[in-house]
Amino acid sequence: MYHFPFRIDGTAGQARATTLSLLRGEVKTPLFMPVGTQGAVRAVSPLHLEQTGAQIVLANTYHLSQRPGAELVAKHGGLHGFMKVEAPILTDSGGFQVFSLEKTVDEDGVHFRYEVDGKPTFLSPERSMELQEQLGSDIAMAFDECLAFGTDRAYTEEAMARTHRWEARSKAAHTRPDQSLFGIVQGGFWPDLRKASAEAVAEIGFDGYAIGGLSVGEGHQKMIEVIEATTPHMPTDRPRYLMGVGRPLDLVEAVARGVDMFDCVIQTRHARSGVMYTTPGRIRITDRRFRNDMYAPDTACDCYTCKNFTRAYLHHLFRVGEILGATLASIHNIHWTQAFMGKMRQSILDGTFEEFRAQVHQAYPEGAPSDPEGVLTSDADSPSPPNRPRQQDARPRKQDARARPPKPARKKR
Ligand SMILES: [Zn+2]
């Protein structure tokens, strides 16, 4: 287990700006990790991924261990050689995927059938460590049991205790000296169980600590309550990672309660449906109103997509079903989220975090649809962002950045 140096650069209340010195380079938090489930961040080349500023990329142990198999990845020198990603990579333990399948759980581990071909498969703490070591990620995750929302207290307690035993076994089985290992706090939706779990996992001792079992359909308020019941009992001298969370409001509210790291598929999943994040709020590029829109998707964004293409072009790509639309929207959404986290970090260091937080509440209020289907089936247009020009103001887009439309006044953060 590689104990990387970790320092806190600044705080604002419980919010923290920190630096992790991983073997492949320093990373700054709060940070967002795009997800490369099948060994690729969907529709985005490694070259463009690097340009988004993503500091760590997440890959999926469960899927990659089935196809193409961890041995083949190891032959490439691990995921870095296989995916050609230079940035640090974090692998999940497989627990989250497995627990959505039909399975048999016993003290040893989990028996299930692989969802693609029905092949009987067994996953345990020891097997998960072996696979993650073969995959060669920079950060591996302990094997845990993730429960569905609504699981009763009796089973939650039983599963939590087993998870703690599995995490101790994960640590004992872990051998790779250049790979860090994070523990995971469970405990369902009971504050006392979350506290007990945070303390038990800290007692085992890991390089970082994750909050698992959230973003399973509980909603924003419930999620916040659980985070609030958990982070005060987590070690302060190690990073804290909230798994599977990525909506702007969730990000800022979790950071406000002391979380440092996040991952989520929502940015790329939304992108493939034409939903794009912008500074004033989310837009759906497939809306008719963007048909002749000559401005960049977000005029305040300097990603590859926004520097080169108009909303009208992206609208066109989606309309004709051209896959480049998904690529360009994904590049933007990942880059936008990186910039969002960077601004949040700066606001913590500047002492303006509360202003930043208030702006996020305004642009991404609670109750906004959280699933892409909801967004897409909604007939109502999303509110027009203030930097969108009126038709009569629209003018042809020039390549020269100096000819770009004036950026909306941005408050100093
Ligand atoms: Zn952009």
Superfamily of the domain at 6-263: Queuine tRNA-ribosyltransferase-like (3.20.20.105)
pTM for this predicted structure:
0.89
Residue 185 bridge partners (DSSP):
211
Rg (CA), the chain: 21
Distance 48 CA to ligand 1 centre (A): 12
The fraction of the chain above a pLDDT of 90, given in percent, is 85
DSSP state of 405: P
What does the pLDDT look like over 172-217, one tens digit per residue?
A: 999 999 999 999 999 999 999 999 999 999 999 999 999 999 999 9
Distance 308 CA to ligand 1 centre (A): 9
How many degrees, rounded to 5, is the angle at CA 335 between CA 334 and CA 337?
Answer: 65
Active site residues: 92, 263
Cα–Cα distance for residue pair 156/150, rounded to 1 Å: 10
Element (H, E) at 19: strand 15-22
Q: Lowest mean pLDDT of 261-265, 294-298, 308-312, 393-397, name the range.
A: 393-397
What residue spans define the domains of the chain?
A: 6-263
Tokens 């520097």 sit at which residue?
307
Higher pLDDT among residues 413 and 190, named by residue: 190
**Residue 69 pLDDT more than 60?**
yes
pLDDT computed for residue 369 by the predictor: 59
Cβ atoms 67, 130 nearer than 8 A: no
Q: Return the half-sphere exposure (C-beta side, CA atoms, 13 A cut-off) of residue 168.
A: 11
Show the tokens assigned to 106.
């016993």
pLDDT computed for residue 92 by the predictor: 95
**CA distance readout (Å), 231 to 83, 193, 348, 354:** 34, 13, 18, 19
Beta strand 180-185 with 139-141: parallel, antiparallel or unpaired?
Answer: parallel
Distance 385 CA to ligand 1 centre (A): 15
Distance 121 CA to ligand 1 centre (A): 42
What's the chain's average pLDDT?
Answer: 90
What does the pLDDT look like over 286-323, one tens digit per residue?
A: 999 999 999 999 999 999 999 999 999 999 999 999 99
What does the pLDDT look like over 342-382, one tens digit per residue?
A: 999 999 999 999 999 999 999 999 876 554 443 433 323 33
Phi first, then psi, for residue 377 (nearest 5°) are: -90, -10
